[in-house]
Amino acid sequence: MSGEYLFSYGLGILLTLWVLWDLVSGSAYLWHRHTRSDEPGLYWLAMLLWSALAVTCFTYPYWSL
């Protein structure tokens, strides 16, 4: 496996762990902290963006540019 795969998968795993931690803690960070109880829309937007970034880390090595 090349270094590109290892870096991409490693970053994807770290981002997935971060998303799981944010789900458990109830707060997520974009430009500042958003809590699920106070700002649910921005919290779920942040979760969606971090999750999408994690998914692209796993799919990026298979993109043919």
What are 16-32's pLDDT values in tens digits?
999 999 999 999 988 89
pLDDT of res. 39? 94
pLDDT of res. 3? 67
pLDDT of res. 7? 85
* Tokens read off for 29: 């960070």
Low-confidence ranges of the chain (pLDDT < 70): 1-4, 61, 64-65
Closest by CA to 49, choosing from 28, 24, 35, is 28
Q: Are 43 and 35 in contact (CB under 8 A)?
A: yes
pLDDT of res. 48? 96
* Reported pTM: 0.82
